[in-house]
Amino acid sequence: MKRQSTVVTGCGSGACQCAAATVSLPAVTVNDVLLPDADLYADPVSLSTRVVGEILRQRAVAAGLLPDAPGTVAPPVDDAARRVMLAMLDPPAPLPPASEEECQTYYAANSHAYLQGQALHVRHILFAVAPEVNVHALLVQAERALVELSRPGVAPQRFVELAAELSACPTRAIGGDMGWIGPHDCEPELANELFDQRHSRWGMGVHPRLIHTGHGFHIIEVLGRRKGRPIPYLQARASIAGDLAVQRQAMARENSLRSLIGEARVQGIDVNTLLLEESLRFWCHD
């Protein structure tokens, strides 16, 4: 994501004293409302989520759907407000179903996503969103943990330690280990990121970015992988139609969001680099 300024951290050499010098990024504002601690977000998805969430909150306030918040700093957004944002972006009428030709074309281009027997051995750390939770502060905490676990040479035991300390999932008692899971054993957002995308075969280890679901933010580590075998088209037809329906709804929401972004005054980042699809997976989770 392109910021309108950069962080200067020296020449990159650990032996160079200039590496200790830093210049803070500029404040990020939406219609002159400040996003607190935005410079802590190393993950562009998390920063996009912050900006998109504030744009949606302000529009919901303007529409009388949410109460206004005093001051010039963006307030926390709870789960109830998040659902109001979803309703605001939904299309006014049901979208038409996909045709047979569209389903066949989609299957031909995405047959890699329709497999039997594929599975991953996964462990995770869940930063859970709840009505009383400050989502912004939760993102900061999740980002810091992800940065730590992504550093070269980090001890494998560190994931276990952070899961026990930070995860809101009962699997924290066993280091966040979810065992072997398939695409139907986890949240749709996790399935999409870990199984359905072509880049899902990015490899083993800690996933390079947070994965957002309706439960919150996940740090994922892949410990093992089992390949699957293709599902015939007729057997996959119902799933394909459902997937296309979800995509159409997501596209309609994204188009509505683009209009709102075009009307907002955002400073501190380039709005053209906002990751809208990833942001909407969090803010607009049903």
pLDDT tens digits along 140-180: 899 999 999 999 999 989 999 999 999 999 999 999 999 99
Into how many domains does the chain fold? Answer: 2
The pLDDT > 70 percentage for the chain reads: 84
Q: Are residues 258 and 221 in the same domain?
A: no
Judge whether 79 lies within some domain.
yes
Q: Are residues 195 and 124 in the same domain?
A: yes
Judge whether 5 lies within some domain.
no
Q: Are residues 220 and 121 in the same domain?
A: yes
**pLDDT at position 136:** 77
What band does 9 get if pLDDT is binned at 50, 70 and 90?
very low
Q: Are residues 131 and 195 in the same domain?
A: yes
**pLDDT at position 118:** 86
Return the closest-CA partner of residue 49 out of 84, 97, 88, 82: 82
Judge whether 196 lies within some domain.
yes
Domain extent for 69: 17-94+254-283
Q: Are residues 88 and 120 in the same domain?
A: no
Q: Are residues 133 and 225 in the same domain?
A: yes
Query: CATH number of the domain that 179 lies in?
Result: 3.10.50.40
Q: Are residues 209 and 270 in the same domain?
A: no
From the number of C-beta atoms within 10 Å of its C-beta (0-12, 13-18, 19+), residue 229 rates as: exposed
Dihedral sign, Cα of residue 25, residue 30, residue 36, residue 42 = negative
pLDDT digits (tens, 9 = 90+) for 219-244: 999 999 888 888 999 999 998 999 89
Q: Are residues 217 and 149 in the same domain?
A: yes
Q: Are residues 142 and 200 in the same domain?
A: yes
| Dihedrals phi, psi of 161, to nearest 5 degrees | -65, -45
Q: What string of H, E and C letters represents the secondary structure of 246-264?
A: HHHHHHHHHHHHHHHHHHC
pLDDT digits (tens, 9 = 90+) for 19-28: 444 445 568 8
From the number of C-beta atoms within 10 Å of its C-beta (0-12, 13-18, 19+), residue 182 rates as: middle
Q: Are residues 157 and 122 in the same domain?
A: yes
Judge whether 178 lies within some domain.
yes
Q: Averaging pLDDT over each range in 128-132, 194-198, 273-277, which range is the top one?
A: 273-277
Judge whether 268 lies within some domain.
yes
Q: Give dist(CA 276, CA 45) in Å, integer.
A: 9
Q: Are residues 141 and 226 in the same domain?
A: yes
Judge whether 245 lies within some domain.
no
